[in-house]
Amino acid sequence: MDSFLIKGGTPLRGEVAISGAKNAALPIMAACLLTSQPCVIRRVPNLSDVRFMGQILNWLGAEVRFSDGNVRVEAKKIKGAGDYDLIRKMRGSFCIMGPLLGRLKRASVSLPGGCVIGARPINLHLKGFKSLGANVKTEGGYVHASAKRLTGGRIFLGGRAGSTVLGTANVLMAAVLAEGVTVIESAACEPEVVDLANFLNAMGAKICGAGGPTVTITGVSELRGAEHEVIPDRIEAATYAIAAAATNGQVLLRGARADHMHAVLDKLADSGVRLETSAEGLTVRRNGRLKSVDITTLPYAGFPTDVQAQMMALMALIPGISIITERIFEARFTHVSELARLGADIEIEGPSAIVKGGKPLSGAPVMASDLRASAALVIAGLAARGTTQVNRVYHLDRGYENMDIKLRQLGARVQRIEES
């Protein structure tokens, strides 16, 4: 397994191009199953998760071609069952269920895998499919759904931790080919859901209200092929913004959309980080001494859980006490013990982490446990004295395109150690 060898202490300076959003690209690729006509998706990040999705679509019978950040998908004839060995590798692959059910009126998909960050049940997905008239059962590690026809209905998708992003996407894709009108209440409001809805509308769907808690879908008989450009990855942009602040640097996040990052930018500004928006993107610079801030993760447009670990790494560097409360996933503090190996002083009390910041960090070998925890360890390593080795960076390769290369372009001393 590959690792990153990081020699810390160098401020990040320059500019970095923000890639397309993984969490938008995956369901958009899956949505191509809804039509037999070819679709072209632009600005698709070169990530292991994206390549896995390509393999899944290919296994289902679609022709998938990758070329210079573009993906062409043509799903003339497809089958309604997803392969276990592929789907178990990432949770996002379960979003093929909706389009398979919508187009074929039947689907058998294995239960998904992904990062170990706490329970992420699919009960709301299944509730949505049932509300559309599908018969759904789970057995042998697979979810089976079928219907003679899908009919619109009113569906409530609120859960214990708020709206479900993947569930909203899945039900949305099934509903576009259902008869009548479907209304999703407590729909996820994330920009990635809006991006999917925009793509589906370009295919001929009739979706109103995406980006708000109530989404209305008027079913159509068929969809056509379309072209679409994926939105910039707000989580990648937030990660590099935090890395710039942590290293006392100045970085232009080229292509970043500040309107998708209000909660993160608000907390960075509160801590003393200077932020400037322009036509080119977002410039982040350290403005002298920073101060600690408290954070609570919430569904969009609240502070994203996917940036919690990175902000914890920054707070560990800043004198003072900050309290970081995780309200989305109950097991998303696995990075705390590894940050402690670098010298961070953090205590866990229930759903909160109490960060006593300001102690200097020093390099050490650390182990990545999930995608965003990996990013936090990289940020800490960039700011630490000495050398940090972040092991198992295959997690990073799932969600950050060429992170080691991009960091080197900003002046970081990062080397990828390839292991067989």
The residues that are catalytic are 115
Distance, CA of 384 to CA of 380 (rounded, Å): 6
Asked if 233 and 243 touch (Cβ cutoff 8 Å), the reply is no
Closest CA to 49 of 401, 398, 395: 398
- At 274 the three-state DSSP class reads strand
Q: DSSP state, 80?
A: S
Distance, CA of 162 to CA of 78 (rounded, Å): 34
- In the block, which residue shows the tokens 């640097």? 249
Distance, CA of 281 to CA of 299 (rounded, Å): 24
Distance, CA of 398 to CA of 400 (rounded, Å): 6
Q: Kindly report the number of other CB atoms within 10 A of residue 359's CB atom.
A: 13
- At 354 the three-state DSSP class reads strand
Distance, CA of 186 to CA of 207 (rounded, Å): 15
Distance, CA of 117 to CA of 257 (rounded, Å): 27
Strands of the 214-218 sheet, one edge to the other: 154-156, 181-185, 214-218, 206-208
Instruction: Give the DSSP per-residue string, 293-345.
Output: --EEB-STTSB-GGGHHHHHHHHTTSSEEEEEE--S-TT--THHHHHHHTT--
The residues near 70 (Cβ < 8 Å, ≥ 6 apart) are 40, 41, 42, 44
The residues near 236 (Cβ < 8 Å, ≥ 6 apart) are 18, 19, 21, 399, 400, 401
Closest CA to 8 of 395, 396, 402, 366: 366
Closest CA to 44 of 65, 58, 14: 65
